Amino acid sequence: MIHEKPLDGIIGDFCRRVMPDFKEIRLNLEELHPEWSKRDFAANLMEFGRGQISKIDEQKQDDLDFIVKYVDSLKFDNLESALFSAYAGGCIMGLVQTDQLSSSDFVAALQFSAKFGRDIE
């Protein structure tokens, strides 16, 4: 966990790397689960991102509780932004779970990824 540049730059680079995956996963999930509400869709994207990065299939109750709270905080007026923020947030959870990101940087990393998400169309 060596930071060679500021956290916002690291998270910005990370968000750019996961954007193509997000777009593909979003389309696939949309086709498979058209019945999901926006919140269910976001929660599943977040959990998918967490599991994809951490390679840990089993969910801890604390993770599930956090996902619900995080998704509840999203503003769905820009659906793409909200869904990306959920997916990227899950990926960041995975980085923390695999010690690739310090837990002390978790909240700031979520904020940077949400800001990145607001800038997408």
Q: What is the pLDDT of residues 107-118, one digit of tens each?
A: 999 999 988 888
What does the alpha-carbon distance between residue 98 and residue 112 come to, in Å, rounded to a whole number?
Answer: 19
Domain contains 72: yes
**How high is the pLDDT of residue 2?**
45
| Helix (H) or strand (E) segment spanning residue 73 | helix 61-73
Q: Are 121 and 84 in contact (CB under 8 A)?
A: no
Domain contains 108: yes
Domain that holds residue 83: 7-118
**How high is the pLDDT of residue 3?**
53
Domain contains 58: yes
Other CB atoms within 10 A of residue 12 CB: 17
Domain contains 2: no
> Average of pLDDT values for 88-105?
94
Domain count of the fold of the chain: 1
pLDDT tens readout for residues 11-53: 999 999 999 999 999 999 999 999 999 999 999 999 999 999 9
Count Cβ neighbours within 10 Å for each residue of 91-106 and write b for 16 or more, e otherwise.
bbbbbbbeeebeeebb
pTM: 0.90
